[in-house]
């Protein structure tokens, strides 16, 4: 699993705008494979079969392994690539976008098309929202009941996430910390409990938080 921070859309959605009498509709979806992306593109094409163009772009993979842009009949480089460039500039991953165009009778020219397709995607991303995906290392700290007040209070005031407290013969705190801060967190927890707690490293999970430019 990659532990690099990355971004994706907050939710699937659509965004519509009219530019020089042409209607542009951006359709966004989260995907994890090229097959899912292609299925979505074909679904939009079928739903908007009467549109003049259904241009698309996607980036998939933690390291952007799969990238593709398609102009779908628009002049080469005026639609799919500008759309893909917006995804790249936003550092988005696992995202596919299709922009449907219903021609309104006014030709936009190459520069106009680039601005229209790129702008529609950019504005659409602001509308559907973007989240930052953060890899978090899960830890457990087990202590005697005498430590519960101090540990809980310190954890809630820290930058770490207190996910759950399990009460049994002892008390177990389930904690999530940024992967890159794991060693620092472990040392802090040892110091917090004077070495009297039992620490265990669990799995890595991904959390999402809203990202605002």
Question: In the chain, which residues fall in CATH 3.30.70.240?
Answer: 134-211
Mean pLDDT for all residues in the chain? 95
Within the chain, what is the greatest distance between any pair of CA atoms?
76
Look-up of token digits 């177990």: 172
Question: In the chain, which residues fall in CATH 3.30.230.30?
Answer: 6-128
pLDDT, tens only, 112-169: 999 999 999 999 999 999 999 999 999 999 999 999 999 999 999 999 999 999 999 9
Among 1, 8, 4, which Cα is nearest to 180's? 4
The pLDDT assigned to 88 comes to 96
Given 3.30.230.30, 3.40.50.1820, 3.10.20.30, 3.30.450.20, which CATH number is that of 6-128?
3.30.230.30
> DSSP character for 92?
B
> DSSP character for 185?
H
Contact (Cβ atoms closer than 8 angstroms) between residue 73 and residue 53:
yes
- Tell me which architecture the domain covering 134-211 has in CATH: 2-Layer Sandwich (3.30)
Token output for 98: 């299709």
pLDDT, tens only, 83-99: 999 999 999 999 999 99
Which residues lie closer than 8 Å to 181 by C-beta, 6 or more apart? none
* The pLDDT of residue 61 is above 60: yes
* Residue 180 Cα distances to 3, 14, 177, 185, 189, angstroms: 9, 36, 8, 10, 16
Which residues lie closer than 8 Å to 116 by C-beta, 6 or more apart? 19, 20, 22, 24, 108
pTM for this model (two decimals): 0.81
């Amino acid at each position: 699993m990659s532990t690099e921070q990355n971004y994706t859309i907050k939710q699937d959605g659509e965004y519509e705008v009219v530019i020089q009498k042409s209607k542009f509709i951006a359709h966004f979806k989260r995907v994890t494979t090229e097959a899912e992306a292609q299925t979505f593109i074909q679904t939009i094409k079928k739903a908007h079969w009467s549109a003049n163009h259904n241009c698309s772009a996607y980036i998939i993979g933690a390291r952007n392994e799969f990238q593709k842009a398609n102009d779908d009949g628009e002049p080469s480089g005026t639609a799919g690539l500008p759309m893909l460039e917006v995804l790249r500039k936003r550092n988005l991953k696992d995202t596919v976008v299709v922009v449907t165009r219903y021609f309104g009778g006014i030709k936009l020219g190459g520069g106009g098309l680039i601005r229209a397709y790129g702008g529609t995607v950019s504005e659409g991303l602001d509308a559907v929202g973007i989240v930052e995906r953060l890899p978090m290392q899960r830890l457990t700290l087990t202590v005697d009941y005498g430590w519960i007040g101090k540990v809980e209070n310190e954890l809630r005031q820290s930058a770490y996430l207190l996910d759950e407290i399990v009460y049994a013969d002892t008390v177990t705190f389930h904690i999530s910390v940024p992967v890159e801060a794991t060693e620092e967190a472990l040392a802090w927890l040892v110091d917090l409990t004077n070495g009297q707690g039992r620490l265990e490293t669990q799995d890595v999970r991904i959390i999402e938080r809203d990202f605002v430019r």
